[in-house]
């Protein structure tokens, strides 16, 4: 069963955290999340699942940034969310989809217990100018039945930044505990 907008409000501070929260972003059965002002792109032409692929950061300037087709852009939400006893999911807004911008390639499904920012896998059908702070996607919540084991992956849980793929840590378990890896991918920022 999907939570209504009223129930999302009721669950705030209990099973749902959305920070910052703005009442104007509550929809009948979802909540709009906004695009942060920074993106990440892979520098590799050929991506390899078994290793960390180099990335480069881009800032979205005041006048916006034009996304080009055939390029994957990783972004993140302005809002940090935390969900307990419910399954969070994100989906692109229809107004954004009608401009030919996909906000997630396959990863719109969240896990019960996920805490952090949502990484967006953005792909444009044609050139499109995007702007920081725009409501880019919506989060919605499903009830879950049965015993719950909350999400606890060290890869993405409690992230503080855009998260490129860390699949290689599953395929090469010796990389899982590398503190430099965690710094380089934004799990922890130097001095934080």
Report H helices in the chain.
5-11, 94-97, 167-171, 179-184
Tokens of 157: 């849980």
DSSP 61-117: -TT-EEEPTT--EEEEEEEEEEESSEEEEEEE-HHHHTTTEES-SS--B--TT-EEE
Active site residue ranges: 121
């Amino acid at each position: 069963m999907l939570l209504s907008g009223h129930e999302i409000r009721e669950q705030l501070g209990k099973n749902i955290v959305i920070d910052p929260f703005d009442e104007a972003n509550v929809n009948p059965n979802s909540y709009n999340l906004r695009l942060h002002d920074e993106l990440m792109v892979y520098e590799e032409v050929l991506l390899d699942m078994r290793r960390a692929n180099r990335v480069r950061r881009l800032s979205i300037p005041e006048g916006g940034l034009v996304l080009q087709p055939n390029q994957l852009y990783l972004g993140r939400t302005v809002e940090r969310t935390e969900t307990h006893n419910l399954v969070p999911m994100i989906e692109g807004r229809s107004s954004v989809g009608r401009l030919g911008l996909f906000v997630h390639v396959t990863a719109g499904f969240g896990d019960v217990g996920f805490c952090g920012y949502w990484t967006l896998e953005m792909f444009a059908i044609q050139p499109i100018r995007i702007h920081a702070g725009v409501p880019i996607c919506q989060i919605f919540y499903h009830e879950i039945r049965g015993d719950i084991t909350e999400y606890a992956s060290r890869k993405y849980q409690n992230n503080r930044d855009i998260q490129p793929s860390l699949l290689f840590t599953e395929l090469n378990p010796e990389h899982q505990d590398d503190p430099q890896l965690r710094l380089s991918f934004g799990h922890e920022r130097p001095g934080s």
